[in-house]
């Protein structure tokens, strides 16, 4: 689905033309902000604790699937954004593309960039949870960072595509050797 959105965004962006300097600024800002965005989504959405509003349970599909992902981090379908949630995200991104930018070309630049970031996120997350062994130090750091989150302590190391950038910013990048192994890393919110 993300690949289809990428092809559509790229095709539409090329067809619209109207390239300006701001078309370089949007991806630069998005790249700078993405680690913090990824951290916030991971902490606030994926690690959401189920709540009740009277008789109504409040628990998103993303949070439920993420809890299942922590139980079995190597289960391939649980590695990826759930299809129903991704469908909603794509509709929201299309609305942002259409209404949040002063010109269509700039909105399409945003859409193109966010789909590239989404593909990068999904591919990196997939590789981290497979048998693929990192060969380069940059990816090895990303791999180790996310594996600490799953196998050491779920309260730290929330970034996936970078090695602790937002974790350092938000104070969730402790020394793994000095960090206690959590008994709930594989069973989020267990008591």
pLDDT in tens, 96-117: 999 999 999 999 999 999 999 9
State yes or no: pLDDT of 21 exceeds 90: yes
Q: Tell me the two tokens of residue 61.
A: 């599909």
- Residue at 185 is within a domain: no
- Residue at 184 is within a domain: no
Distance CA 85, CA 166 (A): 24
- Residue at 64 is within a domain: yes
- Residue at 188 is within a domain: no
Q: Tell me the two tokens of residue 120.
A: 């990068």
The answer to whether the pTM exceeds 0.85 is: yes
| Count: domains in the chain | 1
- Residue at 187 is within a domain: no
- Residue at 183 is within a domain: no
- Residue at 189 is within a domain: no
Q: Please, which residues have CB within 8 angstroms of residue 34's CB and are 6 or more apart in sequence?
A: 117, 161
The tens digit of pLDDT for each residue in 58-95 reads 999 999 999 999 999 999 999 999 999 999 999 999 99
**Domain encompassing residue 57:** 2-178
- Residue at 144 is within a domain: yes
Task: Please tell me the predicted confidence (pLDDT) of residue 163.
Answer: 86
Task: Please tell me the predicted confidence (pLDDT) of residue 164.
Answer: 78
The tens digit of pLDDT for each residue in 130-175 reads 999 899 999 999 999 999 999 999 999 999 999 879 999 999 999 9
Q: CA torsion, points 54, 59, 60, 66, in degrees to nearest 10? A: 170
């Amino acid at each position: 689905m993300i690949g289809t959105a990428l092809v559509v965004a790229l095709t539409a962006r090329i067809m619209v033309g109207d390239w300006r300097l701001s078309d370089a600024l949007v991806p630069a800002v998005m790249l700078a902000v993405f680690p913090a965005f990824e951290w916030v989504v991971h902490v606030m959405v994926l690690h959401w604790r189920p709540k009740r509003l009277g008789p109504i349970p409040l628990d998103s599909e993303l949070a439920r699937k993420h809890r299942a992902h922590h139980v079995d981090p190597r289960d391939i379908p649980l590695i990826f954004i759930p299809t129903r949630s991704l469908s909603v995200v794509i509709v929201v991104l299309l609305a942002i593309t259409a209404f949040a930018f002063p010109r269509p070309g700039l909105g399409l630049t945003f859409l193109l960039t966010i789909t590239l970031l989404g593909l990068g996120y999904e591919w990196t997350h997939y590789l981290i949870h497979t048998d693929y062994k990192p060969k380069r130090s940059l990816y090895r750091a990303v791999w180790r960072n996310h594996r600490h989150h799953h196998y050491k302590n779920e309260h730290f190391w929330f970034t996936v595509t970078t090695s602790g950038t937002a974790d350092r910013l938000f104070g969730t990048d402790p020394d793994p050797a000095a960090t206690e192994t959590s008994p709930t890393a594989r069973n989020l919110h267990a008591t």
